[in-house]
Every structure is written in C-alpha cells, then in structure tokens.
Structure 1
Amino acid sequence: MKKKYFRILLWLTVIPILLVLLCNFAINSSAEGKTFSRIEEVPKNKVGLVLGTAKKLSDGRPNLYYSYRIMATVALFEAGKIEFVLVSGDNGTQYYNEPTTIKKDLIAEGIPQEKIFLDYAGFRTLDSMVRAKEVFGLEKATVISQKFHNQRAIYIAERKGLTAIGFNATDVTGNSGLKVHLREYLARVKVFIDLIFNTQPKFYGERIEIR
C-alpha cells in the first residue's frame, strides 16, 4: 500500500515538472535565432512593440525591467531599426497607466510624440500580441522586452499570425530577477493552456493604423 501511494506521489511530482520543462523547451526552440541583443544584428522593422511593466516596484524602488526596456527602445529608434513605437501595457485603473508613463519617458529621451502609439489594453502578453495584429494591423513587429519575455511573446505571436522578432533589453540579476524568472516558467505553461482553450484578449476595439 505504501509503495502504491509513493508511486502516485512520485507521478504527481514528476508530471508537472516534465510539463514545465516541455513548455519551456518548445518556446525556447520556437524563438531560436529570432531574438537579438546587438543593435547591428537586429533586422529593421517598421514598428517596435515595447511590452509594458511598472515603472517602480511595490517598495518604491525603480523597476530595472522598465528602465532597460526604455533604453532598448530608444537605442532601436536612434539606430533606425524601427520607425514607430507601439507601447502595449496595462491601463487597469486611473492610478495605473503603463502606456502613458512609458510614452512620457520615451518622449523625454527624444522619440517624437507622433511616432508613438499606445495600446491601453495590453493586460497580458497574449493581449498585446493579438491586438498588435488585429487592432493595429501589424503583419510583423520587433518586440522589445527582456529575452525570456521576448521568447514567449514570439511564440504567441506566431501562433496568432504575427511575424515577430525580439530585441533583448538588458536582463535583471539578483533576487528580483530570480523571482521573475521562476514566475516565467509558470507563464509559459499558461501560454499552452490559453492556446488550447483559444483564450481571447479582454478587449479588441476599432482599427488603428500606424503611419
């Protein structure tokens, strides 16, 4: 009897781990050769899609994931690798508005206001990628985030009919970086759950042309 329960417990432990590893492998493999860390190597695209995050952490400290994405976006624009920026992020309440905050910082760094478009309903990476195609009419885009996030975004994009490459913002090390990377494993499993159930963005809306 004890052996039976032990085998059950073993399978209940092993199967979730295998599932996580398989999802991680599939996403990494799909994005192989499609993310770039050097400006001179990244192909040119009309639109750079920067994925939103909070400017500050819950304890008030600056969020380095945010700062590095701003820097990466500005570097791409200044190098002529993108002509427009689409900022996609969470605008869930009147007190929390990722797209507008990012836009202000991009303008402060020299990107003209008329070159920046905002997607206020990018509540999740899935929403951002689907809306980039269905609402903003993109056929291809350069996603701007950290490498692990770009890989997941590219995987989602390609399954939704959007051709995407990624420009990798500098990653974050230390405890905060470790926590984010651990959560990423679960986020990658969620990708496949969403695909199986054909999860849709929270909102669509009227078509917006980037030009």
Structure 2
Amino acid sequence: MIVVGLNLWVVMSTRDRIASSPLTCESREVGIVFGTSHGLVGGGRNPHYQARLDTAAQLYRLHRVSNLLLSGDNRTRYYNEPMTMWRDLRDRNVPQQFMTLDYAGFSTFDTLVRAHKVFGVDQAVLVTQPWHLPRALFIADVLGLDAVGCPAVSERRPAGLRLMLREWLARAATVGDLYLWGRKPRFLGPAERLPTPVLPAVPAVSGS
C-alpha cells in the first residue's frame, strides 16, 4: 500500500504539466533529453531512444526550445549516450550549436541535479516517455527546477508490465531519495554555461 500511495502522489502532483503530444508542449529555453541505450539487448534499435530523439528534433523544428541538453551515461569509452544522441540528432538536421552534452547523467536524479546546479537551468521541457515523466517532474519540483513534460511516445514498443513495475518501484524509491536519505549526484563538477543561440523568427500567419 505504501508503494501505491507514493505512486499516486508522484503521478497526481505532476499530471497537469505533461502535454498530450509534442505539438502541444510548452516553449522553454532548454529541452532536457534523458539518455538511454540506443540498442536492445537482443539486437535492433531501441524504440524508446528513437522516440526521445524524434520528439527532441520536433521541438527544435517547432522553435519550442533554444537548446537541447543531452544528458546520459558515459561509463566507458565504448558507451557514450550523449555523443550517440548528438550524432543521431545531427542526422535529424538539428545543428550542433543547439545541443549541449552532459556526460554525467547517470540517472534521472543526476541529470536533473546537474541541469539545475551545473548548467544553471531554471526552466526546462523534459523529453522522455510518458511513464517516466511523472518521476522526472517530481524530482524537478523538489530541486526547484520549473519543468514541464513533453511525451516521447514509443508506438512500436509500449511500456510492458515489467517496465511499469520497475517504474513504480523507482517512483517510491525516489521519494525516499528526496525526503529521507538525502541522495547526492554521483558527480557534480564545476559550473558550465549553456550557449544561447538565437532561434530563427517564426513567420507571422496573415489572416485571409
């Protein structure tokens, strides 16, 4: 019952800030894209990864963000989530000056703490799957980061029972991390400044 209650708290306190689709996402200066493996264990591309990048690229094309903070795990020289995202977003025609790489986003918590404390982000659009957004937004709230959620829908691989069970447990653990155990990020490091590229003006639509 405790896990259920904590999940309800996380979901109910954040649901009003999750858009229904990328087309309805709010505009913010920074879009935070959470890293994940680009491939599946059994082979093939990870549709959750693909959906996050497709959504991030769409936010750029719609002029909803002026910088994409790509945050992920860089545990070895052969595994580099931020660089992989950067390359694949380049292939989606996102210019490199609109992207910043965070190599120490080892978890959702680490990504958001570093975005706020290292990169100085105060407002952001969070780009990840709908089932992940409540936990990410809940963490952002406690950190004092003004965030909204933009859902990356993985149409070819919906969240299964095992994934949802893991997320339920992660939400409950997150409440403990934030309010009981005083969790700290694995690596914080010195402050860095995000570039502020100027987005092209959106042409006005004249009435008929």
Above 0.5 in TM-score? yes
Task: Give the match for residue 97 of structure 1.
Answer: 80
Task: Give the match for residue 204 of structure 2.
Answer: none
CA contact (8 A) 2:48 2:129 kept: yes
**Residue 65 (structure 2) pairs with residue 65 (structure 1):** no
TM-score (norm 1): 0.88
Structure 1, unaligned runs of 5 or more: 1-17
Give the whole-Å Cα distance in 2 for the aligned partners of 1:48 and 1:175: 23
Secondary structure at the aligned position of 1:193 is classed as helix
* Identical positions, percent: 36
Deviation for aligned residue 1:175: 7.9
CA contact (8 A) 1:117 1:210 kept: yes
**Cα distance, 1:175–1:114 mapped onto 2, change above 3 Å:** closer
Structure 1 counterpart of 2:126, from 132, 143, 164: 143
Structure with the higher helix share, 1 or 2: 1
Number of aligned residue pairs: 194
Task: Give the match for residue 204 of structure 1.
Answer: 188
Task: Give the match for residue 179 of structure 1.
Answer: 162
Give the whole-Å Cα distance in 1 for the aligned partners of 2:111 and 2:157: 28
CA contact (8 A) 2:48 2:157 kept: no
Task: Give the match for residue 26 of structure 2.
Answer: 43
**Residue 71 (structure 2) pairs with residue 88 (structure 1):** yes
Deviation for aligned residue 1:40: 3.7
Structure 2, unaligned runs of 5 or more: 196-208
TM-score (norm 2): 0.89
More off after superposition, 55-64 vs 165-174? 165-174
Secondary structure at the aligned position of 1:143 is classed as strand
CA contact (8 A) 1:147 1:171 kept: no
Q: Which runs of 4+ in 1 moved over 2 A?
A: 37-41, 171-179
Deviation for aligned residue 1:50: 0.3
Give the whole-Å Cα distance in 2 for the aligned partners of 1:173 and 1:39: 17
**Residue 89 (structure 2) pairs with residue 113 (structure 1):** no
Task: Give the match for residue 161 of structure 1.
Answer: 144
Deviation for aligned residue 1:191: 0.2
Give the whole-Å Cα distance in 2 for the aligned partners of 1:39 and 1:133: 23
Give the whole-Å Cα distance in 2 for the aligned partners of 1:50 and 1:95: 20
Deviation for aligned residue 1:84: 0.7
Code of the aligned partner of 1:206: P
More off after superposition, 164-173 vs 125-134? 164-173
Give the whole-Å Cα distance in 2 for the aligned partners of 1:78 and 1:188: 32
What is the aligned-residue RMSD (CA, Å)?
Answer: 1.4
Give the whole-Å Cα distance in 2 for the aligned partners of 1:175 and 1:62: 14
Give the whole-Å Cα distance in 2 for the aligned partners of 1:123 and 1:173: 26
Give the whole-Å Cα distance in 2 for the aligned partners of 1:173 and 1:183: 20
Give the whole-Å Cα distance in 2 for the aligned partners of 1:176 and 1:59: 17
